[in-house]
Each structure stands twice: as C-alpha cells, then as structure tokens.
Amino acid sequence: MNFDFSDDQKMLKEQAQKFLAEKCPTKAVRKILEGDEPFDRALWKQIAEMGWLGTSIPEEFGGLGLGHLELCVIAEELGRALAPVPFSSSVYLATEALLLAGSKEQKEKYLPKLASGEIIGTFALAEGPQPPTVKSIKASLRGGRLSGVKTPIADGDVADFAVVVARSGEGAGERAIALAIVDLKGEGVTRKAVKTLDPSRSHAEITFKDAPAEALGAAGEGWDIARRVLDRAAILMAFEQVGGADACLAMAKDYALNRYAFGRQIASFQAIKHKLADMYVLNELARSNAFFGAWALSTDAPELPEAAAGARISASDAFHNASKENIQTHGGMGFTWELDCHLFYRRAKMLGLALGAPRVWKDRLITHLERKNVA
C-alpha cells in the first residue's frame, strides 16, 4: 500500500505553495476581483515559465511530460491561493480534451503553445441557467461551421480557442453531439464579458455565427469525450477545492485563536471548536476522495468516472462548508468586503458549479454504482 504522493511530488507541492504565497497573496486576487483585468497576467507568465501549464503534456508536444499526480499537487496550491488565472480552463479542460481526443496534427498544433502559455484554451459547454444535457444542447455544427450561444464560459473572454460541445446534423441521442475546436479570434465569433459571483475569474458569453470549426474526436463520440474530459477535470478541480477548503480552516482557526469575547478566546467555545472539528472532518474526507481520484486519473483506471464523481461531490461540499463557516467564525468582520472570507465563499460556489452542480454528479455516481452492482 502506497496511497500517498511521492517525496518529489510533495516537494513540488511545497515549492508551489511557497511560490504562490509570495506571488499570489489575496491582495493579488482582490486586484482582479475589483479591477478591469480579466486575470493576473504577470502571475500567468511566471506559471508558464515554470512549466506548470505543460505538466501533463508529453515532452514530444513541448510539455514537461510529468503526470497527473504532479498536476494534482499544483492544483491544490492554486486553490489554496485562489489564483486568478485561466489555469483550469486551459489545463484541466482544453489540454485534457486534446490529449484525449486530438489527432496528431491537432496535438502538434495546440499542445506546445498551451504548454508555453502562448495560447489559452477553454471548454464551452454551458448554454445558460440549466444543466447542459444531450437534449438541451442547441449550438449546432453543420459543414464545418458552428452557430449558437455559449454562456457563461470561464475565461471565454481571454481564451484563444474553445473546445465547443455542439449538435451535429448526424446521429441520434448522444451520437448527435460533436466536439469542435473554434478559433475565438476568428470570424463569426463575438464575445462579451459576463458578470459573475466570482469576478476573480472571468467569464464570457460567446456567440458563434457560422464560425469555422474543426472537428475534435471521432464523429458521434462528442458526448462521450465531453464526459471523460469533465471527469478528468473534476478530479483536478477537486484538488483546487480541497486547497481552498484547507485555507478556510486555517483562516478560521487563526481568527478564533486571536479573537476574544466574554474574557476568553472564541476558540475556547465549544460551538466554535465543534464547528472547526466538523470542517476538519469534511476536509479530510474530501482530501481522501480526491486522492482516490488522483490514483484513478494517473493510472487511467476503470473506476475513474466513479472516482471523479466522488471527488467532486466531496470537495464541493467541503469547500462550500468551510467557506461559509469561516465567515460565521469571523462574525461581523466576516461579512465585510475588506476581509478575505468572501473571496473563498465566492470561489467555492464558482468551482462547485463550474463542471456541473453536485446534484448532477450524485446522479451520475449512482448510475455508476448501479452498473457495478449489476455486473
């Protein structure tokens, strides 16, 4: 049994933590939250220089050729720091989609530039305030041209290309869904920023009108590939969520130890102690579920879909809980704009919705369990 990260991976994590503590204090997150810049360009540049963007991209395509485990430890630290960069869109989603389904030419064309940070990619699935399903997808792909509206798309305003989930003319049911790569700077694409709950991560509405589109993956497999991309991203994002949840616990603990009421530290009241103990329990469960996801991802195990759902449900729950109880622990101060509590509260909700709400993943999890029990 060796259910842990290696010493090298732990060292990478430590380095990442140190780097981000220095380059991405919450002050930097606020700057994006309150300003007009869509993301922290200086930070993004340094992240690219360190090679993080190409962590799981093979060396032949310009990446570091490490594995997903390395990506997991980096993700946790990005989550802890609330890094305001398009990492999840470009790395967990666009890069993973290309690694999974890209042709050799597509990989050669996109991966080296994704690895170097020269281009940013994103994944365009959502079409407004409802869960995207095989039935609901309206964007359509005909004769190499894409039309439709996708919103809200994380980093859609800054990405150079998007992997778009659309309905093709052929096939029925799932088989009718196709994936296409679309140049977001090319013809037929207009985009406008969308205001969201978490302005530290930018979002956009993208309108396609006969935009030139190149197919990604085999015809008829679009939905299946999209699901697999989401599974992989869910595991990586779970590490971000665990990092964020951990940061909330640390923040709550620190405040509780230093704040006095009724002549004593508020950390000595059981209502606070037990709240933080519960936070710890949920965070540990989430971390362990994320570990299982990391294992499944790194070994491409058949359990991957189940592991992804478990990691996502657990991490979304833990981060939401930690972020709200962190505010509660801070009392009135917690409700101010000035304190950082709300940055975590916003990010927790944003990440919890980003790849589909936990409700949807719970349903998927049971579908996997049903299959397993029948087998």
Partner 1 sequence: MDFKDTPDEAKFRAEVRAWLEANAKPKSATGFSAENPRFQQSEQEALKKAKAWQAKKAEARYARITWPKEWGGLGGTPIQQVIYSQEESKFDVPTGFFEIGLGMCVPTVMHYADKATSERFVSPAIRGEEIWCQLFSEPSAGSDVAGLRTRAEKDGDEWVINGQKIWTSGAHYSDYGILLTRTDPKAPKHKGLTMFWISMKAPGVEARPIKQMSGGANFNEVFFTNLRVKDSQRLGAVGDGWKVALTTLMHERLAVGGGAGGSGPDVNELLMLARETELEDGPAIKNAAVREKIAEWYVRGQGLKYTTYRTLTALSKGSVPGPEASIAKIVVAPKLQDLNSFAMDLEDMGGIAVGEDAPAMGAFQQAFMWAPGLRIAGGTDEILRNIIAERVLGLPGDIRVDKDIPYNELPTGR
Site string for partner 1, 45-74 (x = CB under 8 A): ------------------------x-----
CA dist., res. 263 & res. 259, Å (int): 10
- The residue whose two tokens read 């936990």 is 358
Of 50, 288, 328, 339, the one binding partner 1 (CB under 8 A) is 288
Of 313, 322, 343, 348, the one binding partner 1 (CB under 8 A) is 313
Q: Which is nearer to partner 1, 6 or 336 (CB)?
A: 6
Of 267, 327, 343, 354, the one binding partner 1 (CB under 8 A) is 267
- The residue whose two tokens read 């365009």 is 124
Could you tell me which of 167, 144, 161 has the C-alpha nearest to residue 213?
A: 144
DSSP label of 184: T
DSSP label of 59: G
Of 190, 258, 299, 336, the one binding partner 1 (CB under 8 A) is 299
Site string for partner 1, 226-255 (x = CB under 8 A): -----------------------x---x--
Of 93, 101, 139, 309, the one binding partner 1 (CB under 8 A) is 309
- The residue whose two tokens read 């990446």 is 63
Q: How far is the CB of 290 from partner 1 (least distance, A)?
A: 9
Interface with partner 1, residue 363, by CB under 8 A: yes
CA dist., res. 341 & res. 339, Å (int): 6
CA dist., res. 46 & res. 24, Å (int): 11
Degrees to nearest 5, angle at CA 172 with 168 and 177:
40
Q: How far is the CB of 155 from partner 1 (least distance, A)?
A: 29
Q: How far is the CB of 3 from partner 1 (least distance, A)?
A: 4
Site string for partner 1, 139-178 (x = CB under 8 A): ----------------------------------------
**Does residue 22 contact residue 42 with C-beta atoms inside 8 Å?**
no
Q: Which is nearer to partner 1, 41 or 362 (CB)?
A: 362
Of 15, 30, 210, 280, the one binding partner 1 (CB under 8 A) is 280
Q: Which is nearer to partner 1, 50 or 285 (CB)?
A: 285
Of 270, 300, 332, 337, the one binding partner 1 (CB under 8 A) is 270
Of 291, 319, 344, 345, the one binding partner 1 (CB under 8 A) is 291
Say how many residues touch partner 1, by CB under 8 A: 50
303, 314, 350 from 310: Cα distances, Å: 11, 6, 18
DSSP label of 102: -
Q: List the beta bridge partners of residue 142.
A: 145
Residues 6+ apart with CB under 8 A from 248: 279, 319, 322, 323, 325, 326, 344, 348
205, 233, 240 from 92: Cα distances, Å: 20, 5, 11
Q: Which is nearer to partner 1, 218 or 369 (CB)?
A: 369
DSSP assignment of 196-263 equals: -S-TTS-EEEEEEEEEEEEEESSTT-HHHHHHHHHHHHHHHHHHHHHHHHHHHHHHHHHHHHH-EETT
Of 28, 286, 304, 341, the one binding partner 1 (CB under 8 A) is 286
Binding site for partner 1 (CB under 8 A): 1-6, 69, 249, 253, 256-257, 264-265, 267-268, 270, 272-274, 276-278, 280-281, 284-289, 291-292, 294-295, 298-299, 309-310, 313-314, 317, 359, 361-363, 365-366, 369-370, 373
